[in-house]
């Protein structure tokens, strides 16, 4: 299959290119001292990371520790309200720790151990990436330093407790607005000083090359399993695959299985409270080309061209940019990016819970909401939703803010 001269037959061999570019997006825009550290990761990933020993161990971990393969569930009751629609979910919520993030955290931690590193460094916003990485560190017996804004530490007490129980060191960052951006800066700084013994583990398909490629590769398992399972179950491929997009790791994971097929792909961003800057986090739908956190992509900018403040009910989607590969797939038109607001998300959260007995993460609820919307418009078809995580982490906030519906 071809889109604007991009051949999807051998797509993964050509994208990104050797310098980490997907078209004009991606690359590595970081200080020289950090570049040295990241070059080392890149070389290790291209050698050790491609070895059969590495990949066999990762496969074993996925099966015996993570609980893969995760199933596909047919949403019978939710589908039955439509005449000719069948909705399915890929159950990433059934991963150990309750979301897809463990897919790349185990890969990154295995690479660290293979490189002889003794410590993992990362930042976290809501704490989901921190918990998944602390889990991986405990599994491999590695030290783990998680940088977290002081404001987030207060807001996310249960995840801070989880990280500490798992043996991670949670380092409060008090600079600036004391949230995610400052935590990223602090983690980068620590990494540039400690890279002899440590590796930096990013939380999505963002950051400088090779992270968007590496994290995508670790998430590909979702799409590989989903394609095979869907074929076995239905004797056909889905008509559409739908996933929520924050940085874009769960979306690229499932999309990668279907890029070369005649399957419509939808990436769903949070419209939050509305279209005005500051009310949403839809960087692909509304952003402009720009560099932040070491990579070029589409980004929401303020008047000065800096990353704009963003909002989403889902803290995992609350980021002013998205992975460079998504910006590329957006521009060539292979993936359609659309938005869902907070209210549509909450409705979908309750609908999936009530009709199917699955409480979805508020991030994943964006994809569920879009599938229901698409079903009403298209009236016919098989839609596969990536259920990136479970909703236990969200119930207190939802009940306090919206009550029981």
Return residues touching ligand PLP (CB under 6 A). Answer: 99, 101, 128, 204, 244-251, 316-317, 361, 363-364, 388-389
Name which of 85 and 285 has its Cβ closer to ligand PLP: 285
Name which of 82 and 286 has its Cβ closer to ligand PLP: 286
Please report the sign of the dihedral spanned by the C-alpha atoms of residue 382, residue 386, residue 390, residue 395: negative
Cβ-based neighbour number of residue 47 at 10 Å:
11
For residues 364 and 389, the answer to whether their CB atoms sit within 8 Å is: yes
In whole angstroms, the minimum distance from the beta carbon of 341 to ligand PLP comes to 17
Name which of 192 and 283 has its Cβ closer to ligand PLP: 283
CA angle 273, 149, 215 (to 5 degrees): 80
Residue nearest to ligand PLP (CB): 389
In whole angstroms, the minimum distance from the beta carbon of 265 to ligand PLP comes to 14
Selected catalytic residue, list 90, 101, 117, 119: 101
In whole angstroms, the minimum distance from the beta carbon of 205 to ligand PLP comes to 6
For residues 133 and 109, the answer to whether their CB atoms sit within 8 Å is: yes
Nearest Cα neighbor of 132 from 144, 141, 148 is 144
| H and E: helices and strands count for the chain | 17, 16
In whole angstroms, the minimum distance from the beta carbon of 245 to ligand PLP comes to 5
Could you confirm whether 101 is annotated as catalytic?
yes
Name which of 250 and 279 has its Cβ closer to ligand PLP: 250
Q: Rounded to 5, what percent of the chain is helix, strand, coil?
A: 50, 20, 30
Alpha helices (H) in 115-220, listed in sequence order: 128-140, 150-155, 157-165, 180-194, 211-219
Exposure string over 155-171, b if 16+ CB within 10 A, otherwise e: bbeebbebbeebebebb
In whole angstroms, the minimum distance from the beta carbon of 203 to ligand PLP comes to 7
In whole angstroms, the minimum distance from the beta carbon of 51 to ligand PLP comes to 26
Name which of 192 and 208 has its Cβ closer to ligand PLP: 208
Name which of 137 and 359 has its Cβ closer to ligand PLP: 359
In whole angstroms, the minimum distance from the beta carbon of 212 to ligand PLP comes to 11
Relative to beta strand 84-91, strand 72-74 is antiparallel
Q: Per DSSP, what are the bridge partners of residue 144?
A: 120
Token pair belonging to 281: 């986090």
Token pair belonging to 155: 């807001």
Give the helix/strand (H/E) hosting 367. helix 362-378
Token pair belonging to 62: 């996925």
For residues 226 and 253, the answer to whether their CB atoms sit within 8 Å is: no
Name which of 382 and 386 has its Cβ closer to ligand PLP: 386
CA torsion 361-364-365-368 (nearest 10°) is -140
Selected catalytic residue, list 123, 325, 356, 363: 123
For residues 44 and 111, the answer to whether their CB atoms sit within 8 Å is: yes
Token pair belonging to 353: 């819970």
Cis peptide before 14 (omega within 30 of 0): no
Selected catalytic residue, list 114, 256, 322, 388: 388
In whole angstroms, the minimum distance from the beta carbon of 321 to ligand PLP comes to 11
Q: Enumerate the active-site residues.
A: 101, 123, 388
């Amino acid at each position: 299959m071809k889109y604007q001269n991009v051949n999807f037959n051998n797509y993964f061999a050509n994208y990104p290119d050797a310098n980490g570019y997907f078209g004009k997006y991606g690359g590595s825009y970081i200080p020289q001292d950090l570049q040295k550290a990241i070059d080392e990761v890149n070389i290790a990933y291209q050698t050790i990371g491609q070895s059969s020993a590495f990949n066999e161990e990762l496969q074993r971990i996925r099966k015996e520790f993570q609980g893969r393969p995760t199933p596909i569930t047919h949403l019978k009751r939710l589908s039955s309200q439509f005449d000719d629609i069948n909705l399915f979910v890929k159950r990433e919520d059934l991963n150990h720790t309750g979301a897809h993030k463990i897919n790349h955290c185990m890969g990154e931690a295995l690479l660290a151990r293979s490189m002889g590193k003794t410590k993992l460094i990362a930042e976290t916003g809501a704490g989901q990436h921190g918990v998944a990485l602390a889990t991986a560190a405990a599994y491999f017996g590695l030290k783990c330093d998680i940088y977290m804004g002081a404001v987030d530490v207060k807001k996310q007490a249960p995840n801070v407790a989880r990280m500490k129980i798992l043996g991670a060191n949670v380092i409060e960052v008090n600079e600036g607005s004391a949230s995610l951006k400052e935590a990223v800066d602090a983690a980068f700084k620590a990494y540039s000083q400690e890279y002899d013994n440590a590796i930096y583990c990013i939380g999505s398909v963002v950051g400088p090359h090779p992270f968007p490629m590496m994290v995508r590769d670790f998430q590909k398992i979702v799409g590989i399993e989903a394609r095979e399972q869907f074929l076995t179950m239905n004797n056909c491929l889905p008509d559409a695959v739908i996933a929520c997009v924050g940085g874009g790791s769960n979306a690229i994971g499932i999309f990668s299985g279907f890029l070369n097929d005649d399957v419509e792909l939808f990436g769903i961003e949070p419209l939050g409270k509305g279209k005005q800057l500051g009310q949403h986090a839809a960087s692909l739908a509304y952003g402009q080309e720009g560099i932040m956190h070491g990579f070029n992509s589409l980004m929401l900018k303020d008047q000065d061209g800096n990353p704009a403040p963003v909002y989403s009910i889902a803290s995992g989607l609350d980021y002013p940019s998205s992975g460079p590969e998504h910006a590329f797939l957006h521009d060539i038109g292979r993936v359609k990016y659309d938005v869902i607001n907070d209210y549509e998300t909450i409705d979908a959260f309750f609908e999936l819970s009530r009709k199917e007995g699955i409480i979805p993460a508020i991030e994943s609820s964006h994809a569920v909401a879009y599938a229901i919307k698409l079903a009403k418009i298209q009236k016919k078809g098989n839609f596969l939703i990536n259920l990136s995580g479970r909703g236990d982490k969200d119930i207190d906030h939802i009940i306090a803010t919206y009550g029981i519906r």
